Amino acid sequence: MTTVLMNPSADDTTVILASGSATRAGILRNAGLRFSIRRPTVDEAAVRQVMVEAGDPVEAGARRLADLKALEISSEIPGALVIGADQILECGGQWFEKPEGPEAAREQLMKLSGRTHRLISGVSIARDNEVIWRHVDQAVLTVRSLGKEFLERYLIAMGDRTRESVGGYQIEGLGSQLFERVEGDHFTILGLPLLPTLAFLRSHGLLED
């Protein structure tokens, strides 16, 4: 049985996760948070492309996309606290997105093989179509040199799951075998800086202090 430490006086406050990510939903659910889910329609690829062409830092990209997701749903549901989040992988100045299939995953992992990259995760909370809080964090990960045979076996074992995470790996599972070093917060790596988010919710009376 899960012990839920929500503040009873906050039952009338609607909390919404603006994301289609099962991983982010699981993070919040396992932390004992009650919330509903609405999937935003933000064209993430288009926003990233504009920001890359403008030479914006990757941190700004993660922050901007988290803002847009939270604001889109917030504009539809007055009074709700809407959590938006985004994650971008950066390696050698290149921004990576979720691969569209096995070939794209293979190409990405070959580019990351033997190199160090950053995962930048942003989270924003909006209410009444205004961002009232945001946080950006990063983790630094080094992929070991991947042999072709290992990579093929990995891609076969992962199947369509390579499409579910930026970079084509899921470090909480089989993807852990890809790495030789990981530096940073576990939740940031999964795509949602949880502890700062919980601290904000406590400060607004949504969680017991």
Task: Quick: pLDDT tens for 155-193.
Answer: 999 988 888 888 888 888 889 999 999 999 999 999 999
Q: Which residues are catalytic?
A: 86
Mean pLDDT of the chain: 91
DSSP 3-state of 134: strand
Residue 157: how many other CB atoms lie within 10 Å: 12
Answer whether 87's CB lies under 8 Å from 191's CB.
Answer: yes
Q: Quote the pTM value.
A: 0.89
Dist CA 70 CA 84 (whole Å)? 4
Task: Give one DSSP letter per residue of 58-81, joined into a string.
Answer: HHHHHHHHHHHHHHHHHTTSTT-E
- The distance of Cα 107 from the centroid of its chain, to the nearest Å, equals 21
- pLDDT tier at 13 (50, 70, 90 boundaries)? low
**pLDDT for residue 10:** 47
Dist CA 67 CA 114 (whole Å)? 33
